[in-house]
Structure 1
Amino acid sequence: MACVHMAALAANLPGLALATKALIAPLLIVVVLSALPRRQPTARWLTLALVLAFLNDVVPGFTPWSHGLDPLLFMLALAVYAITLAPHWVRELDGLHLLLAIPYGGVVIGLFLACAGGAGPLLPLLVVYAIVLAAVAFLSAGVNPLTWIGGTLLLFSSSVLGMSWFLPGAWIPQSDLWVMGSYLTGQALLVLGILRTVSARRWAPEPAGASLVIVEG
């Protein structure tokens, strides 16, 4: 579906591009609900993030008057991804994961400084957007390689998208293809990486160890 969407963008077929884009998040929701029990917190958070991503994908296309919702919906989706990643990041915490804050923080700070001048009244939204984006990139890097790559691609996609929102005059050749290609791939890898770490933990053998049994007579 993602390949069809990218082909539709490249061929300048907006109707097909919008229709295929609207199907991607629901397909990922089906994958999540097929892989995890619905009562599990990770399944609920992932589903919520994908619902928000779905709304971000389709609302502007079907309701042109609502373009101002783009940054807000996408920011909310990123915030829910950060909440989903946080407990898995804590379980895998080590020194290398903490060092990853430096390059990701540098990218986000650079994006903020570049866009702050053109944000105008949207500056508070830009601040929150930058913080949430940094959190997702940082947390995703500390779970497993799939989430690491996925989070990095989302950082790239969101940076290009943020420039189009907050930096007047910013122009990148074929930006739609770059944004959507990295966004769709990044989101899929992020979701699959989270599912993989949850599945691996579920089937991990219990640690062997001595146990003390007290028998009362």
Structure 2
Amino acid sequence: MLSLRSFNRLMWGLYVLTAVVHIGALLQQVDSLARATQPLFAPLLLGALLTAVPMRSRTVSLLSLGLLCAWAGDTLGQVGPQHMQTIAALGFLGALTCYALALWPLWLRSRDPLRIMLAIPYGAVVIALFVACADGAGPLLPLVVLYAVALTAMAFLSVGGNAWTWMGGTLFLLSSSLLGMDWFLPGAAIAYSTELVMLTYTVGHGLLIAGMIRTLPGRSDGRHCSSGAALVIVEP
């Protein structure tokens, strides 16, 4: 019988394999395989989260809810392609909000002026993209505004966790930026845009969840990594 630690490694291995297969399917234009693998990302990350941190806490609950929202964004858009943009944006708006709320306590405990300065450009990037894409958003403009705010908050707060959350938040920001340009910016022809969106999304999402796991007590491998030498996070 597999231990929690072994099952956790299996979840991460399957996630990496699924991501590689998905990107390969996009490159080879095997649409059926790409559609079949995309809904697996969030459940595999959820499995990795719950097997790594069996203890329930506010952070684990928020991350789990965020992954369910991400699954909705990945999956339900395929059910109703005519509303794909709205469904995906709503799903990931929920995911980003949950991730930002999960990251908030870490930010409060590890506020670093240097990190804050390095994170400020994230807001500038999102504002510039929003201005460029606003005309093309049409009736989705209010939703795009909310998404931009949530994306900025998540990316900014990810800096307060650790290197993993920081890289994950940055790649998530890059993925959403590329997707926004692809959807709403006429004439923005980016080679392999879909493949780049999914590559940065899968790597960024995985790093963000892995980084959050490393900040939590009660991990199944018995280790606990904090974002600072004196930082200890204890949750009820």
Q: TM-score range by the shorter chain?
A: 0.7 to 0.9
The one-letter code sitting in structure 2 at the alignment partner of 1:120 is G
Q: CA shift at 1:47, angstroms?
A: 0.7
**More displaced, 104-113 or 176-185?**
104-113
Alignment partner, residue 213 of structure 1: none
Structure 2 residue aligned with 1:21, among 38, 60, 84?
38
Alignment partner, residue 188 of structure 2: 170
Identity of aligned residues (%): 49
Alignment partner, residue 121 of structure 2: 103
Structure 1 residue aligned with 2:132, among 108, 114, 117?
114
Deviation string 1:105-128 (CA, Å, 9 cap, x unpaired) is: 111111111112222332222221
Structure 2 residue aligned with 1:87, among 99, 105, 111?
105
**Structure 1: gaps of 5 or more residues:** 208-217
**Alpha-carbon contact 1:119-1:126 (below 8 Å) kept:** yes
Q: Distance in 2 between matches of 1:206 and 1:86?
A: 18
Q: Distance in 1 between matches of 2:230 and 2:204?
A: 32
**Alpha-carbon contact 2:174-2:200 (below 8 Å) kept:** yes
The one-letter code sitting in structure 1 at the alignment partner of 2:27 is A
Greater relative contact order, per chain length (Cα 8 Å cut-off, separation 6+): 2
Q: CA shift at 1:206, angstroms?
A: 9.9
TM-score (norm 2): 0.81
Q: CA shift at 1:101, angstroms?
A: 3.6
Larger Rg over CA atoms: 1
Matched, 1:48 2:72: no
CA 1:138–1:169 in 2, change beyond 3 Å: closer, same or farther? Answer: same
> What is the Cα-based RMSD across aligned positions, in Å?
2.1
**Alpha-carbon contact 1:100-1:138 (below 8 Å) kept:** no
Which 4+ residue blocks in structure 1 deviate beyond 3 angstroms? 204-207
Alignment partner, residue 195 of structure 1: 213
Q: Distance in 2 between matches of 1:131 and 1:104?
A: 11
Matched, 1:77 2:110: no
TM-score (norm 1): 0.88
Q: Distance in 2 between matches of 1:99 and 1:159?
A: 21
Q: Distance in 1 between matches of 2:61 and 2:147?
A: 23
**SS in structure 2 of the partner of residue 142 of structure 1:** coil
Q: CA shift at 1:37, angstroms?
A: 3.1
Deviation string 1:73-93 (CA, Å, 9 cap, x unpaired) is: 111111111111111121111
**Alpha-carbon contact 1:38-1:44 (below 8 Å) kept:** no
**Alpha-carbon contact 2:107-2:161 (below 8 Å) kept:** yes
Q: CA shift at 1:25, angstroms?
A: 1.0
